[in-house]
Amino acid sequence: MFDSLSNQVLSSLSDISTNPIALTVFGIIAVLIVLLLLATVFPFWRKALVNLHILEQDEQPSSLLLWVVTVVVIVKLTQTFLVQPFIVDGGSMLPTFHNKEFLLVDKLSYRLHAPHRGDVAIFRLYEGDTNPYTGKYLIKRVIGLPGERVVVHNGVTTIYNKTHPEGFQIDESFVTSKDTTKDVDVTLDDHHYFMMGDNRTQSYDSRDWGPLDASSMRGQVLFRLYPLSVASYEPGRFTYTK
């Protein structure tokens, strides 16, 4: 359990280092914490913070320091274990998701159950030795589950599993742009998923870099908050019965 918690914390810190906005915010907060620590010891620094209107005349640096640290801890715990913001980058999920849409990702559900076929999931890609997207966050749809054989031929996806050893073609009515050039036949082991973008002609996905390790999953899309005109709960989720 300790190792798992440590991995989550390290992963969260790694996320900060790869996000310019998060890195800037974290830097500002870090400078503020250092200034407040100095102000608790040296009157000069406390006076300077009062002059900058960071502290009130009768406010103790330690009280503001405690408040800042508490907020940072709560935000990071929430982002690490519960909910994380995500901005869509690119058109690989058109027409379901568009570039620059602002999403909230549910990180708790996948700790309680495995991803379902049809989920729109966020993951961090590490597959492929020369993958240009290594270390980046991607958004794709869960198509193949662990233990299944996935065959993509002429733009049609067929799944073979224990329940349907003869195979069945999955409903992909959410796909409006099919790709008939990428044929794949792969059998997944017990900890890999097959991921594809809804915009098949532009999506760089498991057809290119292979199955996704379960440990790379970060969560499923819970809310679309922006644009407000398309704000919704679990947008794009497609429920399969098979």
Q: Which residues are catalytic?
A: 92, 140
90 φ/ψ angles, rounded to the nearest 5 degrees: 105, 180
Q: Is the peptide bond before 95 cis (omega within 30 degrees of 0)?
A: yes
Instruction: Tell me if 197 sits within 8 A of 123, measured CB to CB.
Output: no
Helices (H), the chain: 2-18, 20-41, 43-51, 61-81, 109-112, 206-209
* Structure-token pair, residue 238: 């497609």
CA–CA separation, 84 vs 99, rounded Å?
A: 18
Buried b (16+ CB within 10 A) or exposed e, 6-21: eeeeeebeebbeeeee
